[in-house]
Amino acid sequence: ANDDEKYLYLISFIACTFAISMHFFLFVFHLAINMMPLFFVSLAGFLFDLLFFWLVERGYYLPFGLLLSGTVIIHVLATAICVGTRNLVIVYLLVTVMMQLIIPYASGRVRALVLGVLWASMVALVIINFHLTPLYDIGHATAALAMFNIHLAFFGTIIQLTIGNSIWDAIIKFNREELERSKGEANTDPLTGLFNRRYAVTFFEKLRAGQIEQFWCVAMLDIDDFKLLNDTYGHEFGDDVLKYISDSITSSLRKTDVVFRWGGEEFLILLKDVDVSTAYRLLDKLRGKLELGNLEINDITSNVTVTIGVCSLDSQNIKQSIETSDRLMYKGKALGKNIVVM
């Protein structure tokens, strides 16, 4: 759904909630004072409100808006005929007028027609007030009903004037969070959860521009005999090996270091604020940890080792630095694997 549809759904749902709360109070009130004609009118309005929730849930906004406006008009006219207008029942129409301006359930032309009907209903109230005697006298209950109607109009107006902006603020916040989440998904490898090569491009651009601290070492890590593991135990086992290695890297290195899934069984590691000798010791500790560990998956036990090439990172020649670490890694492969080369 686009933002306009989200707004329409939310504000229509709130309107339904407001209407059903109003009708619930009214049918209880009229039952309490034994005003049965208006009790049944209010009960019918309550049942229609349940229908309005159903219409909104299915996106039938035009019938929702027309029927809601119609039930309010019928309720107002029935109240005026039965107990008169001293209870300020006209405020229901004023709240419904505001609804036409705030809830875009139909085209402007349709809502303008509804506004015309609401205006005619107000004129009818004046005629009823001066030319018809109410069918029933509810005595002091008139004051209680008028007090309820005043509060209904007051809070209904406040809600309608403020809820629109609140809904838009919520939609904007939701969209911003969704955008950040989608960016995160676009920048991470779905299998390992590590940063991917796409994010590396952004990271290195910031590094080159001086937006990130400059002192790093870069290392290329490759899983030894990964193709053999895949061919022997299957790709699912290979995926588990990749997750095991990525977890081992992130748990062994420092929080300031950055790890990328570079492609296949290769991982690019950036070690912050260390010289090559220190980077070598950190990486060799990681290598030794993997060498001594046994990976057990689905009754399969395997020893997984890695070969790593490491060098200092030149922020103005990043590609060349990565290629150097890659060459050093392949040198380690030629020397027998399971080694860190600097």
Active site residues: 265
203 half-sphere exposure, CB direction, 13 A CA radius:
20
Residue 222 contacts residue 266 (beta carbons within 8 Å): yes
Long-range Cβ contact pairs of 252-259 (< 8 A, separation 24 or more): 252/282, 252/285, 252/286, 252/289, 253/282, 253/286, 254/282, 258/195, 258/203, 259/194, 259/195
SS3 category, 100:
helix
Structure tokens at 13: 């749902």
Can you name the residues that pair with 298 across neighbouring β-strands? none
Name the DSSP class of 107. -
CA-based nearest residue to 65, from 13, 116, 21: 13
Can you name the residues that pair with 221 across neighbouring β-strands? 267, 308
d(CA 91, CA 262): 67
Residue 133, number of CB atoms within 10 A of its CB: 8
